[in-house]
């Protein structure tokens, strides 16, 4: 299989319980499942039996790359990690996360498309992968080290260019907020898989490789990569390009890309911050992105269109906002958070909730005074949680929903937690109710991703968000692009999909909206399997070389065939956009089948978050009721060919996707709609 193009051809299998290390051929799974999350989903269907819990040896941690990983494809540096997550509320299930950095490319250069970890080790170990070889090594000397020191230590030992993914003290202590961390600020966070790595007693994976990814048609591949890099160069945060920035300089030297092979720079660089942190290496550098800014600049709540909406939000629940502690303290807090191996969504979600507690007379929990406006409180809180210190640390080491279940609190405070974590114990994100506004029809679109996924899908699928970034109502006062033009945006969607119905506000054109959401979700599977950055692909929009070009453009259409065009020249296979779309559909349906077989996924579960959307969207006041929700879900299932009553795929659909044996197995356990 050494003759494969794009894929390396080997998957590394490590039974960390017995120490047995084997390999298997990647060709068992590709091109049908592409790579990344797609291949992981196939392996999960084959091997994760119903009833397997997140901490059991049979759970797997799957570190995945895709055919694009480690190549010239722009934004191809991300990797995906999949497994059963203890973080999912009310009960754990199979889910996924993606992160950037250099580890995924290095893994391919070391000779593997993926590493699948099974079993639980009796003692703390790390996995050392180098040029086709892999060995488990004792990690006693890494025990308790923060994520930066762990990386530093393994780089010292195995060479400076070694790439390391690891857990910090939080992961070792099975904290549900714990991350799998890499470099600065790259992590698998809300997927909750850091705790699984902790239970497996796998402190780190260190990777070094001198191989490469073979390209089938180098000349054509170079040309198409150059063209796509050009198309996206304005970067997701500047969609469409708002200023006259010179050619090839969409980002300034203060910006940092998160990943290998990325020509953009969404993160901001915080260099040489005089850190006063008391654990670990005291890193003085951070890369900040999105919620990492929480305590640096503070996050302000969005405006409300009318007083009554404001009343609802302030009377019934809270909205997310944090206090700015400034660059120095904010960065120190972020460094501590990531050093301990906690996700950044942890402080940003606890901050407003602690304020709800205080406003409702709860000023102290388990003997700890709540002082969310004091940095000291956060330094101590994070350490308590990471080390599970005292009953306070023990309780909050769980996710917020589980913590609240255990505490005696006024119902309004409990409701506030539920409002912040409306589905699967995942933080509300791009739903238009909590933190960000997401005016209609954007929240209807994001809702359709939320209700059928297994986690916060928006963290891995920002497709709708960068439209929202310059959508007129959203960008008001938020530094977006005031010239955004809805007419042109609709033209763009018309060009891409033959209709702009998916972008019409309100509940008209529901069929167009659900059809668009199905397409986006299929492409999200592809994007997590190839892998690509969710801020850029699929590229419905493109950027402009100058403001003038942008203003004069009739529409903003990018290229939704970009993935296929690049994959063809990379692999030499006869692959087109239809093939890509179908593969995405196959991955989604197989994931659905896992969730039906293992967790009784149903229409009822899909509808469990409906209550959230009965609250008005915070910037335009739009909302729905159960009737509208049901009409939307019916339409969505119709486009998926899923049964209306149960939400299960039909045999016809599964067979059409080459999943006959999946249909057979579901039928055997009476979970298939005939």
The one among 148, 354, 421, 636 contacting other proteins by CB under 8 A: 148
243 contributes a contact to other proteins by CB under 8 A: no
Whole-angstrom Cα distance, residue 417 to residue 404?
7
The 75-94 site mask, x for binding other proteins (CB under 8 A), equals --x-----------------
The one among 67, 261, 538, 584 contacting other proteins by CB under 8 A: 261
Q: Using CB under 8 A, count the residues that bind other proteins.
A: 49
218 contributes a contact to other proteins by CB under 8 A: yes
226 contributes a contact to other proteins by CB under 8 A: yes
Whole-angstrom Cα distance, residue 556 to residue 126?
47
172, burial (CB in 10 Å: exposed 0-12, middle 13-18, buried 19+): buried
253 contributes a contact to other proteins by CB under 8 A: yes
Q: In terms of DSSP H, where are the helices of 277-343?
A: 307-316, 326-340
CB 318 within 8 A of CB 353: yes
- Please give the DSSP secondary-structure letter assigned to residue 322: -
256 contributes a contact to other proteins by CB under 8 A: yes
Whole-angstrom Cα distance, residue 302 to residue 114?
41
CA atoms 552, 508, 514, 89: torsion sign:
positive
3-state class (DSSP) for residue 426: strand
The one among 142, 175, 215, 403 contacting other proteins by CB under 8 A: 215
The one among 71, 238, 334, 522 contacting other proteins by CB under 8 A: 71
CB 175 within 8 A of CB 397: yes
Task: Output the smallest distance, CB 113 to other proteins, in A.
Answer: 14
Q: Residues 99-129, buried b or exposed e (16+ Cβ, 10 A)? A: bbbbbbbbbbbbbbbbbbbbbbbeebbbbbb
- Please give the DSSP secondary-structure letter assigned to residue 424: T
Nearer to other proteins, 443 or 537 (CB): 537
289 contributes a contact to other proteins by CB under 8 A: no
Give the binding range for other proteins (CB under 8 A) out of 257-265, 313-321, 393-401, 495-503. Answer: 257-265
The alpha carbons of the chain give a radius of gyration, in whole angstroms, of 23
Structure tokens at 198: 């902790």
Nearer to other proteins, 86 or 339 (CB): 339
Give the binding range for other proteins (CB under 8 A) out of 51-59, 148-156, 189-197, 536-544. Answer: 148-156
Whole-angstrom Cα distance, residue 674 to residue 664?
11
212 contributes a contact to other proteins by CB under 8 A: yes
Give the binding range for other proteins (CB under 8 A) out of 218-226, 306-314, 453-461, 660-668. Answer: 218-226
CA atoms 268, 321, 89, 166: torsion sign:
positive
Q: Which residues contact 32 (CB under 8 A, 6 or more apart)?
A: 42, 583, 586, 658
Whole-angstrom Cα distance, residue 148 to residue 432?
35
The one among 51, 160, 278, 477 contacting other proteins by CB under 8 A: 160
Structure tokens at 372: 């969310």
The 103-142 site mask, x for binding other proteins (CB under 8 A), equals --x---x---------------------------------
151 contributes a contact to other proteins by CB under 8 A: yes
Task: Output the smallest distance, CB 535 to other proteins, in A.
Answer: 15
227 contributes a contact to other proteins by CB under 8 A: no
Whole-angstrom Cα distance, residue 20 to residue 23?
10
Structure tokens at 182: 């890499």
The one among 134, 184, 467, 632 contacting other proteins by CB under 8 A: 184
Q: In terms of DSSP H, where are the helices of 14-110?
A: 36-47, 103-109
542 contributes a contact to other proteins by CB under 8 A: no
167 contributes a contact to other proteins by CB under 8 A: no
376 contributes a contact to other proteins by CB under 8 A: no
The one among 1, 143, 222, 669 contacting other proteins by CB under 8 A: 222
The one among 18, 22, 27, 210 contacting other proteins by CB under 8 A: 210
Give the binding range for other proteins (CB under 8 A) out of 206-214, 324-332, 433-441, 657-665. Answer: 206-214
Give the Cβ contact number of residue 498 at 10 Å. 9
- Please give the DSSP secondary-structure letter assigned to residue 588: H
Binding site for other proteins (CB under 8 A): 70-72, 74, 77, 102, 105, 109, 148, 151-152, 160-161, 183-184, 209-215, 218, 221-222, 226, 229, 233, 248-251, 253, 255-257, 259-265, 269, 271, 281, 283, 285, 287
């Amino acid at each position: 299989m050494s003759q494969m193009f794009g894929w390396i051809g080997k998957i590394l299998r490590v039974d960390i319980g017995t120490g047995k290390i084997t390999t298997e051929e990647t060709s068992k799974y590709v091109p049908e499942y592409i790579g990344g999350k797609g291949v992981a989903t196939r392996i999960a269907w084959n091997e994760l039996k119903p009833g397997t819990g997140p901490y059991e040896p049979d759970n797997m941690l799957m570190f995945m790359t895709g055919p694009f990983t480690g190549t010239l494809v722009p934004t191809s540096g991300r990797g995906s990690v999949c497994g059963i997550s203890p973080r999912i509320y009310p009960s754990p299930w199979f889910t996924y996360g993606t992160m950037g950095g250099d580890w995924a490319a290095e893994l391919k250069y070391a000779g593997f498309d993926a590493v699948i970890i099974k079993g639980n080790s009796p003692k703390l170990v790390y996995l050392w992968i180098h040029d086709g070889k892999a060995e488990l090594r004792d990690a006693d000397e890494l025990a308790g080290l923060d994520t930066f020191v762990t990386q530093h230590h393994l780089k010292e030992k195995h060479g400076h260019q070694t790439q390391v993914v690891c857990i910090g003290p939080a992961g070792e202590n099975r904290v549900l907020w714990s991350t799998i961390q890499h470099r600065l600020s790259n992590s698998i966070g809300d997927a909750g898989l850091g705790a699984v790595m902790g239970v497996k007693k796998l402190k780190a994976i260190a990777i070094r490789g001198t191989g490469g990814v073979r390209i089938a048609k180098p000349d054509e591949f170079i040309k198409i990569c150059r063209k796509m890099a050009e198309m996206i160069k304005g970067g997701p945060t500047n969609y469409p390009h708002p200023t006259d920035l010179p050619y090839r300089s969409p980002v300034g030297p203060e910006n940092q890309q998160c990943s290998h092979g990325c020509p953009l720079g969404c993160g901001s660089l915080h260099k040489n911050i005089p850190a006063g942190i008391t654990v670990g290496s005291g890193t003085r550098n951070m890369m900040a992105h999105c919620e990492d800014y929480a305590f640096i600049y503070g996050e302000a709540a969005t405006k409300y269109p009318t007083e009554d909406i404001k009343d609802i939000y302030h009377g019934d629940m809270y909205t997310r906002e944090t206090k700015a502690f400034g660059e120095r303290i904010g960065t120190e807090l972020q460094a501590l958070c990531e050093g301990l191996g906690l996700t950044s969504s942890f402080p940003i979600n606890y901050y407003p909730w602690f304020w709800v507690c205080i406003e409702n007379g709860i000023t102290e929990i388990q003997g700890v005074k709540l002082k969310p406006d004091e940095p000291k409180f956060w330094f101590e809180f994070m350490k308590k949680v990471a080390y599970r210190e005292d009953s306070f640390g023990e309780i909050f080491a769980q996710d917020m929903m589980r913590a609240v279940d255990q505490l005696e609190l006024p119902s309004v405070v409990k409701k506030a937690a539920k409002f912040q974590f409306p589905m699967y114990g995942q933080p509300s994100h791009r739903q238009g109710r909590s933190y960000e506004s997401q005016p209609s029809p954007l929240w209807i679109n994001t809702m359709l991703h939320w209700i059928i996924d297994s986690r916060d899908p928006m963290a891995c699928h920002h497709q709708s968000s960068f439209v929202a970034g310059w959508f007129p109502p959203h960008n008001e006062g938020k530094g977006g692009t005031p010239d955004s033009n809805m007419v042109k945006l609709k033209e763009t969607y018309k060009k891409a999909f033959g209709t702009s119905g998916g972008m019409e506000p309100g509940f008209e054109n529901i069929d167009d909206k659900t059809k668009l959401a199905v397409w986006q979700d299929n492409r999200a599977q592809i994007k997590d399997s190839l892998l690509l950055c969710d801020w850029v692909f699929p590229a419905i929009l493109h950027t402009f070389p100058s403001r003038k070009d942008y203003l004069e453009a009739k529409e903003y259409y990018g290229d939704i065939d970009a993935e296929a065009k690049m994959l063809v020249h990379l692999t030499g296979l006869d692959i087109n956009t239809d093939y890509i779309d179908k593969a995405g559909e196959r991955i989604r349906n197989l994931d659905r089948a896992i969730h039906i077989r293992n967790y009784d996924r149903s229409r009822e579960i899909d509808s469990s978050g409906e209550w959230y959307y009965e609250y008005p969207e915070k910037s335009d006041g739009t909302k729905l009721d159960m009737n509208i929700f049901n009409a939307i879900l019916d339409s969505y299932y119709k486009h998926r060919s899923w049964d209306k009553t149960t939400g299960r795929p039909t045999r016809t659909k599964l067979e059409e996707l080459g999943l006959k044996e999946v249909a057979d197995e579901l039928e055997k356990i009476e979970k298939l709609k005939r």
